[in-house]
Amino acid sequence: MELKPAAKIAVGATGKPGKRTFFLIATGSEGSLVVKCEKFQVEALAARLDELLAGIATELGKPRRTDFDKLLEEIQEPEIPARFDWVVGEIGIGYDPEEDLILVVARSAEAAEGEVPEDSTSLDFGLQPRSEEFEIGDETSSEEARIWITRSQAEVLAIQSAAVAAAGRKLCPFCTMPIDPDEGHDCFARNGHKEARLAPGGA
């Protein structure tokens, strides 16, 4: 599927903290798509979009938006989907300087089987409309989505992705591990262990 341009793109999550299900939704004149993804993919998407937008501003002289309050107002919380079209296996981003559009490509887990690189969390943020992780050819299938968005949409998506990923379980102040709201937390830092390890928040 190819949405060019996408009328809407957003990420969301459903479920209790620690057991959330993440998803990406996109709509356009050619259809709509809802795919299930992992928290680390949402976090990586936020980080790489931010780096890409910064690179476009620095290398191509196309400034980023600075109206942060307006960007927050433009964030639309997506409805919880009843079903997913497929599960994301890998994701990449790119940029077409001629059309001034950012490309988000998501490929299903089945299509990506055997092709996922060692660092599957990394996304390409070069200034070319392709990903270093996989070739983005002209042919698409039901297991690959090519979503073209404006830089303005990308600014909003980056903020929303970061916010959705960060809205999980609280971290223990002693060991920095996520605290499960239902099952509690067995803190190794308070049980005689001197070393506390840093860990990302839970889903």
pLDDT tens for each residue of 84-95: 999 999 999 999
The 8-class DSSP code of residue 139 comes to: -
- Report whether 10 contacts 160 (CB < 8 A): yes
Contact between residue 146 and residue 103 where contact means Cβ atoms under 8 Å apart: yes
Report, as ranges of residue numbers, the positions in the chain whose pLDDT lies below 50. Answer: 114-141, 192-200
pLDDT of residue 181: 59
Euclidean distance between CA atoms 131 and 129, whole angstroms: 7
pLDDT value of residue 68: 87
Helix/strand/coil for 158: helix
pLDDT tens-digit readout, 181-190: 566 666 655 5
Cα–Cα distance for residue pair 51/32, rounded to 1 Å: 27
pLDDT number for residue 197 = 38
Give me the pLDDT at residue 166, please: 86
Distance CA 19, CA 151 (A): 32
Determine the Cα–Cα distance for residues 38 and 22; give it in Å rounded to an integer: 6
Give 109's contacts (C-beta < 8 A, 6+ positions apart).
86, 87, 88, 89
Is the pTM above the cut of 0.85? no
Distance of CA 113 to the CA centre of its chain: 20
